[in-house]
Amino acid sequence: MKKLFLLAALFVAAAFSSCEHAITVKTPGTLSQLLTDYDKTEITELTIIGNLNSDDIWTLKYDLPNLAILDMENVNLEVLPAEAFLFKESLTSVKLPRTLKTIGSGAFSHCSSLTSITIPDSVTTISDWAFDDCSSLTSITIPAGVTSIGEWAFFYCTSLTNVTIGNSVTTIGAYAFSDCSSLTSVTIGNSVTSIGESAFQGCTSLTSVTIPDSVTEIRERAFSGCSGLTSITIPDSVTSIGDSVFFDCTSLTSVTIGNSVTIIENCTFWECTTLTNVTIPDSVTTIGESAFYRCSSLTSVTIPDGVTEIGRAVFFDCKSLTSVTIGNSVTSIGREAFYSCKSLTTIYCKAQTPPSVETNAFDNVSKTLTLYVPTDCKAAYAAAYGWKEFTTIIETQF
């Protein structure tokens, strides 16, 4: 294996052993010319020292077809250009410049043989698509200086098993780690405020994740399809859980929702088929459509007094649900809200005025269950559409 050392600094000279080569680049941008005397197909390992520009990066990408190991630690470069090594499938290991601040968009996208990358502490920005589809990359440490991880940054890194996100990162971009199917461990730094749309979607090997107290927002589909995830705690700092955040998390058995969450959006826990119980905090005012759709192991649920509407198909086909408590502010229950909740034996409805009930809301639900209503409200429920079908209505003091 030929190891070629190129000195790309202005007026830099050095002595190397006979099996190594020293090249002095007097002017950045002339790397291509200095390689004319070499068989470029034989160069598999390369160490570069000095000042390079984007033309030199382009030379590394296109003129060295078998380049596998690249050491640029001692290169003076602050920005690695966009698409610098896009589709450079020969690369297996890279050490980035110690002076680097920005890894450009798509810089290592589709580098399918890349197994190791050293990101220096100087880096502050990992741009969109930076490492997407690096399917051989096994681990990554995001330095403490990085403040943002771009969209799709590590998308489809299917061999990535663990990720450590530094404490300066404030935003994890959309699809940042989506479809990293081997990812088992994620450490999220305590400065992250937003987990982006589909950030960890399809991470099927992820069994647990700790969301720090700094997070205020979990965007739509952030953990959807994480079929190995067994439990999750949403801290009190979070105010909104986006659409389909835990969609199809089929191993999720336990959920703790923080006391600042006001909105549970549409399809949040869609087909979380092993979820047995969930406590909806009193802070919640809105539960979106199909929020607990086909949560077939859910046994009981209490809808807080602050909720005014139970949306369409919220508890559709929750066939193990035996008990439901409906808060005193609920005014309407949407279509198919409790459709096919075949095990329901008890409903506690605290509303003084019977909530309006849309079509099919209680279809395929036993009409012999016991409906508990507030004192002096039995007559109103017995006459109301959607409620009068229940044969046992009992007044109680809530």
Q: Would 216 be classed as within a structural domain?
A: no
Full residue range of the structural domain in which residue 25 is found: 1-77
Q: Would 1 be classed as within a structural domain?
A: yes
CA–CA distance, 131 with 328 (Å, rounded to integer): 51
Q: Would 73 be classed as within a structural domain?
A: yes
Q: Would 244 be classed as within a structural domain?
A: no
pLDDT 10s digit of each residue in the chain, 398 long? 444 444 444 333 333 333 344 466 668 998 898 888 888 898 999 888 888 899 999 999 999 999 999 999 989 999 999 999 999 999 999 999 999 999 999 999 999 999 999 999 999 999 999 999 999 999 898 988 999 899 999 999 999 998 989 889 999 999 999 999 999 989 898 999 999 999 999 999 999 899 999 999 999 999 999 999 999 999 999 988 999 999 999 999 989 999 999 999 999 999 999 999 899 999 999 999 999 999 999 999 999 999 999 999 999 999 999 999 999 999 999 999 999 999 999 999 999 999 999 999 999 999 999 999 999 999 999 999 999 999 999 999 99
Q: Is 311 within 8 Å of 288 (Cβ atoms)?
A: yes
Per the listing, tokens 């309006």 go with 356
Q: Would 28 be classed as within a structural domain?
A: yes
Q: Would 122 be classed as within a structural domain?
A: no
Q: Would 67 be classed as within a structural domain?
A: yes
What is the token pair recorded at 99? 């002076």
Q: Would 57 be classed as within a structural domain?
A: yes
Sheet containing 300-302, strands listed edge to edge, beginning at the edge strand earlier in sequence: 231-234, 254-257, 277-279, 300-302, 323-326, 346-349, 370-374, 392-396
The total domain count for the chain is: 1
The whole-model pTM stands at 0.90
CA–CA distance, 283 with 237 (Å, rounded to integer): 12
